[in-house]
Structure 1
Amino acid sequence: MYTEQIYKEMGIIEFHPFRIEDKKMIDGFFRIHHYEQIDCTFNTLFIWQKAHDTSWAVQDNILFIRAGHGKDLFFLPPFAKEEEEFKHGLDLIHEELDKLGMPFRLKSASRWVTEQIERLLPGKYDFIEDRDNEEYVYRTADMISLPGKKLRMKKNHLNAFLRQYGGDYTYESITKENMEDAKAGIHEWFERHGDIEEEEEAMKICFDNWDELGVKGAIIRIYGKVEAFTNGDLVNERMAHIIFEKANPNIRGLYQAINRDFLIHEFADTEFVNREEDLGIEGLREAKMGYNPDHLTEKFDVVLKKSSD
């Protein structure tokens, strides 16, 4: 297994860990295009960098994102402003991986990216759909009102919650005054549901850098006890992103309530909301499909055709 030191010695591009002071610069690369994927947001890359061995570099005015290690090392597509810079970015990734003795692989390439690659370098690459990592995008208004037959069951759950707890629950935006209560509530959730170390660590990083990341959050209390937590940010001006959402599963309709109330209070002016991928987990896929997504963010792995040199 390659270590970071070996990468540094053998590679041609100098990579760095994500630091909060890098946010403005890195966001500047993502802002060029209206990306839908959360992979193309500083906040996601920053809070999950330990879990996914993610690092960044800028060379020749191109942003490179590298993740994984050993035989699982891969790059995101290069983030470049001009067409020729994009082609140059692909060349640099080839050189980097060749020097490390690893095959060329990009992940999280959107349909737009694959079309550009095929147009610029026809016949050189294969594009393999990565369904398990495609993100679910919903219309914000639908997630608030839960209209129609397809969302009737979700609406029934919400109505059941409101009938039982309508006068006994409170919604609170997260502030400095209630953040410790939010942390305690989410810690209790993790204790009840087992040790999900990587997720809990990512959430801690999010709390520790709350203001700098510009995230928003909320809790729901029932009889004064924190029973649900959520937070999110913006992928772009049209799309909200739910980062974490946790609720007591024994309280019917609580998930629907925290989702609805959070969008109403914080992101009602967005058109879409990204609720991330299902990772190929059958129950999670069923739950996400049950909310009738508007579309999925298509994602592809990009590899060299076997016949290519």
Structure 2
Amino acid sequence: MEFHHFEMKDKDYINSFFGEHHYQQCDCSFNTLFLWQHAYSTMWAVEDNILFVRAGRGDMAYFMPPFEGKGASFVHGLEIIRKHLEDMGKPFRLMGASPWVVEQIKQLCPGKYEFEEDRDDFEYIYKTSDLIRLPGKKFRMKKNHLNGFLRTYPDYVYEPITHENMEEVKQASAEWFKRHGDIEDEEYSIGLCFDNWDALGVKGAVIRIYGKIEAFTIGDKMNDQVAHIHFEKANPEIRGLYQAINRDFILHEFADTEFVNREEDLGVPGLRQAKMEYNPDHFAEKYNVVLAGTLGK
């Protein structure tokens, strides 16, 4: 297979392989794969009308499940991956397999593969209406934070990201990363997003307090049903600011969707707690897939 880096010219072609299903996983979209290819060494290839996405370095190389185009064979895609990794001297490993993919493999290839839940990679899917309204007792703490912010900063300004304020947003992003330590991969991805803003078709917003940008966020629609928040940064010393930017952005840009994907927690305890406190409706579950008899080896 001939693998390629993700480039903007390939966006429509690659997304055409994701258009067969209403995926809720954010990595089943060109924008995510493009923005994070540097961090995960992600590349793509197409063979026999099947999209292959390979990632990882060295012995940690893996594939996402094959994305077959119309008339293509999913099982054939699995065999191509197996042969490719075998030729590289690497073990067979799929990551990011959804429950639907797992069931397909079990039905089409009985006994050939084993499966392992990857809870740290589960993506959090929320009801759009919940994130806008914060209804009921289960959102009381979040609603209290938001109300505290609204009382303290009644004159705050919500503002879409445009070409007119882009340089100021870039500076606010650089200052955030300077204050919060070196998160090089994420800072690089945000920079790539700013540099390809129109071509990616993303939307963004900021909150200003006394004229200064204290929070910004960037997202898009994965499909008509699901919005995806790529990045969200705020001054953690301002109570309720994260709740405000989250609510306002979804209300202004994605109120017509059913769900919002706010990505995984990576197994970070504090991040998991924060995401669970928003009461996800469900998860985009993910599983690792290996050859039968090799799990844990």
Is the shorter-chain TM-score for this pair beyond 0.5, marking a shared fold?
Answer: yes
User: How far is the alpha carbon of 1:86 from its aligned partner?
Assistant: 0.7
Q: Is the 8 A contact 2:214 2:235 kept in 1?
A: yes
Q: Deviations over 1:223-276 (max 9, x none)?
A: 000000000011111000000000000000000000000001100100000000
1:166 maps onto 2:185 in alignment: no
What is the SS of the residue equivalent to 1:18? Answer: coil
What 5-or-longer segments of structure 1 have no aligned partner? 1-12
- Take 1:39 and 1:206, find their aligned partners in 2: how far apart are those partners? 15
Question: How do 1:81-100 residues align onto structure 2 when only pairs under 5 Å count?
Answer: 81=69, 85-100=73-88
1:272 corresponds to: 259
Cα gap change, 1:83 to 1:307, in 2 (>3 Å)? farther
1:130 corresponds to: 118
Cα gap change, 1:243 to 1:59, in 2 (>3 Å)? same
What is the SS of the residue equivalent to 1:236? Answer: coil
Choose the corresponding residue for 1:285, options 272, 276, 280. Answer: 272
1:230 corresponds to: 217
1:7 corresponds to: none
Cα RMSD (Å) = 1.1
Q: Deviations over 1:44-96 (max 9, x none)?
A: 00011011000000111000000012110000000003576111101100110
What is the SS of the residue equivalent to 1:136? Answer: strand
What is the SS of the residue equivalent to 1:38? Answer: coil
What is the SS of the residue equivalent to 1:185? Answer: helix
Q: Is the 8 A contact 2:114 2:289 kept in 1?
A: yes
So what's the TM-score if we normalise by structure 2? 0.98
Choose the corresponding residue for 2:20, options 32, 50, 67. Answer: 32
Amino acid at match of 2:285: E
What is the SS of the residue equivalent to 1:219? Answer: strand
- Take 1:226 and 1:185, find their aligned partners in 2: how far apart are those partners? 7
Q: Is the 8 A contact 2:64 2:95 kept in 1?
A: yes
Question: How do 1:98-109 residues align onto structure 2 when only pairs under 5 Å count?
Answer: 98-109=86-97
User: How far is the alpha carbon of 1:166 from its aligned partner?
Assistant: 1.3
Question: How do 1:47-196 residues align onto structure 2 when only pairs under 5 Å count?
Answer: 47-81=35-69, 85-167=73-155, 169-196=156-183
So what's the TM-score if we normalise by structure 1? 0.94
The sequence identity of aligned pairs, in percent, is: 64
Q: Deviations over 1:12-46 (max 9, x none)?
A: x1100000100010010011111110110100000
After superposing on structure 2, the runs of 4+ consecutive aligned residues of structure 1 that deviate more than 2 Å are: 81-84
- Take 1:220 and 1:307, find their aligned partners in 2: how far apart are those partners? 50
Q: Deviations over 1:97-116 (max 9, x none)?
A: 11011110000000000000
What is the SS of the residue equivalent to 1:250? Answer: coil
Q: Is the 8 A contact 2:128 2:260 kept in 1?
A: yes
Choose the corresponding residue for 2:206, options 190, 205, 219. Answer: 219
- Take 1:250 and 1:191, find their aligned partners in 2: how far apart are those partners? 15
- Take 1:156 and 1:231, find their aligned partners in 2: how far apart are those partners? 24
1:21 maps onto 2:9 in alignment: yes
2:283 corresponds to: 296
What is the SS of the residue equivalent to 1:189? Answer: helix
What 5-or-longer segments of structure 2 have no aligned partner? none
Amino acid at match of 1:165: Y
Q: Deviations over 1:158-177 (max 9, x none)?
A: 0000001012x100001111
